[in-house]
Structure 1
């Protein structure tokens, strides 16, 4: 059994902090097999990339105090040090599930299966620092990080956060594109 994860500073007490994926009961053995197969295919395509994973997180959670920021008063994720272009920053961790969670603002698609079933990672009730990444809209012209299918430290399929083509300076907020589908699903009718 792995030791408990150390909770980072400013972590909300109502959210379980974890640095490994947890699997919901909706993830059947067939789905786990498909995830393993996808991970093996991904491993073959990424063998030469040599992704180096940091032991210490290169990010910090901070409360946003800019009245012009769309998430003013909430938390965001910021670079704790200079981050080089096109580098792995952190994995998006939470509860892996196969059920529909359209109401969750922290649900990220992990795998769309051939039978139409979607596997997602939901960080609403448990997760890591990556759950605090905000959308770039209303803050900057373009995102400085992006989500990418990857393998975690144990070789399991996950979504990772990577820096874009430019250096991210220490203190910069990490901003991603949530995608048009995210915003469309939240538009008032």
Structure 2
């Protein structure tokens, strides 16, 4: 069973999951790409604990926060450095989802791109915010690993320093994410970032 009771402050229009699900349109011939094979060195995969760290979703009420009025993910207790926090759960797909702010890449090979999108269904990890405009650097990171089925999975881990109780869990979305968002917001921007007309 993929569903469980949604946590407090969960949005009504998003399905809560405890395990990622396949998009019904996901090609059967690509499913083998989801399975972590024996040829992948363990050093390339994050070994996770079966126990999640308690986290909570809060509405951002600080008007200086870039996500003011939206949600963020916060630690319910101290999180030790380099610790597994929780998996990033959503719908595993192979189609383009450029309009989603909740889509992470799991695997790219040749012309196939597999991602996990938490825009319509997911878990608390979908509320992790980017550190920019909040803190000087992230206190958490995305790491690739495998779920209990042996499928590729992205998860959130604390960084080299511990995270204090009540502190917001922040990652880096990456410069590519911000460039893609800027291009969607400003279609006149060229690849070089110049917004002037030719």
TM-score, normalised to structure 1, is 0.90
Question: Cα gap change, 1:178/1:78 in structure 2, threshold over 3 Å: closer, same or farther?
Answer: same
Partner of 1:111: 107
Partner of 1:59: 55
- 5 Å matches for 1:49-128? 51-54=48-51, 57-113=53-109, 115-128=110-123
CA distance in 1, matches of 2:166, 2:106: 29
CA distance in 1, matches of 2:106, 2:46: 21
Partner of 2:133: 138
Aligned to 2:157, which of 148, 162, 186? 162
Contact kept? 2:79, 2:158, Cα under 8 Å: yes
User: What are structure 1's unaligned runs of at least 5 residues?
Assistant: none
User: What are structure 2's unaligned runs of at least 5 residues?
Assistant: 189-198
Q: Which has the larger radius of gyration?
A: 2
Contact kept? 1:23, 1:95, Cα under 8 Å: yes
Deviation at 1:25, TM superposition (A): 2.8
Q: Deviations over 1:64-96 (max 9, x none)?
A: 111110001110000011111111100000000
CA distance in 1, matches of 2:178, 2:19: 28
The root-mean-square deviation of aligned C-alpha atoms, in Å, is 2.0
Q: How many correspondences in the alignment?
A: 184
CA distance in 2, matches of 1:71, 1:48: 31
